[in-house]
Amino acid sequence: MIRSVSPYGNEKLFVLNGSYCVESEEYLLLSEEDVEGGLSYDEDKMRLKLQELERALVDDEEDSESAEAPAACSYECSSSQQQVSPKDLLFACAVAVSQGRTEDASNMISQLRRRVSIDGEPWQRISAYMVEALAARLAVSGKGLYRALKCKEPPSKDRLSAMQVLFEVCPCFRFGFMAANGAILEAFAGEKAVHIIDFEVSQGSQYITLLQTLAAENNKTCPRFRLTGVDDPDSIQRPVGGLNHIGLRLKELAKSLNLDFEFNPVGDLDTLECRPGEALIVNFAFHLHHMPDESVSTLNQRDRLLRMVRSLNPKLVTLVEQNVNTNTTPFLHRFHEAYTYYSAMFDCLDATLPRESQERVNVEKQCLAREIVNIIACEGEERVERYEVWGKWKARMTMAGFQASPITENVNHMIRKLIKQYSHRYTTNIHSNALHFGWEDKVLIVASAWR
């Protein structure tokens, strides 16, 4: 066994040497609607199979005890029955948690903590974080754990650095920004002044690239460019100076590139200023999933914001989101979706960064584990990572009054050339007027444009 530090607290985790059992079809029954409607499976069948698994575990332990084997080894040391894989045990634990069987779940969590590690293989790393998410849900401490991950450690500059690394080593995020920028640049054509409203400027990386591209094309014919960033008190950039700090960096860059650029931070939507003669573009990049919808509150801020933006009559709206259903699905289905989606994310990192890399551990803990804990451990208003699949976003945009503006082949061709520089396991294709970026057969990010 290889000993490692637990992702939370002072618990110790262990890696058990041995092969990983591939999941059976009973646990993953995918349909052709995976991309459009999320994962599909027979939940009753899944519950039945996992309950059978739990009974087998109990029988195994009872047999070991009757043979006077040490209680601590009843699970791992049984040679008479096939060892249950950590993944199967993880899903059995999720069922126990969902049914309120606290003692059974706690026993499984203890076993899992001895068999998974945050510095092991990808399946072990994601399992380690999902185990702690289940433990947090069991202890009704999901909100506190989520806040601790977000606010306490590591320092904000390290968290920002981890996000930057994630965007660089998992190009699906980068390509999502590039697809949005490609559509935005095409909307610039023929305009004398352009105003972009962005609800998640973050570190400004998307606009650094956009400004550089504008300058490289022809800054003599480039229109005046005004960017309005809508401030969010909980956004990631606030700890390092907020929108004013980001805006200063962008203005300095634009000046060095001889571009006519203006940046305006606003605190709320009531202070938005739309000037005559400006072509309006609204950019939603990894933002809307944080807006509560009708399943959280009757205010339905998600659709309300979309309708408000539609009333501004924008020339273009860009939408980039992660393609996974963690919003309205019941707990077990959400657990299954999260495991499948983040497994692909952990595999992406494994193909790029060595397993012993501290940089990789920081990315997984600060960028991925924080989301996993919130998705699994929290409910109601406390669950803020509420992603939806592309089909649901398309329906929301259509109901708000938008029409799809297909991503052009020029943008698609540019990204296809760049993606070859990473790994052949990355995929990209146009489906339903949107660009889908994925890892092997799993779609991770979808970028679309609307008018």
Share of the chain above pLDDT 70, in %: 75
- Summarised one tens digit per residue, pLDDT across range 382-438 is 899 999 999 999 999 999 999 999 988 888 888 888 887 888 899 999 988 999 999
pLDDT in tens, 92-101: 999 999 999 9
Residue 14 has pLDDT above 60, yes or no: no
Q: What was the pLDDT predicted at 420?
A: 78
Q: What is the pLDDT of residue 80?
A: 30
Give the residue-averaged pLDDT of 18-34.
34
pLDDT at residue 216 tops 60: yes
Residue 3 has a pLDDT of 35
What is the CATH code for 170-324+385-450?
Answer: 3.40.50.150
- Smallest CA-to-CA distance from 310 within 380, 247, 399, 435 is with 399
The tens digit of pLDDT for each residue in 73-91 reads: 333 433 333 478 999 999 9
In 10 A of CB 412, how many CB atoms? 17
Where do we find the tokens 């809508």?
230
Cα separation, 180 vs 184, in Å, equals: 6
pLDDT of 448: 97
Q: Which amino acid is at 95?
A: V
The 10s digit of each residue's pLDDT in 278-304 is 999 999 999 999 999 999 999 999 999
At residue 148, does pLDDT exceed 60?
Answer: no
310-332 pLDDT per residue, tens:
999 999 999 999 999 999 999 99
pTM score: 0.79
Least confident of 165-174, 206-215, 355-364: 165-174
User: From CA 12, how far away is CA 164, in angstroms rounded?
Assistant: 29
Question: Of the ranges 45-59, 61-75, 107-121, 248-262, which one carries the lowest mean pLDDT score?
Answer: 61-75
In the chain, list all ranges with CATH 3.40.50.150: 170-324+385-450
Residue 41 has pLDDT above 50, yes or no: no
- Quote the pLDDT of residue 404: 95
Q: What is the pLDDT of residue 170?
A: 83
- Contact between residue 318 and residue 284 where contact means Cβ atoms under 8 Å apart: yes
Nearest to 237 by CA among 267, 197, 200: 200
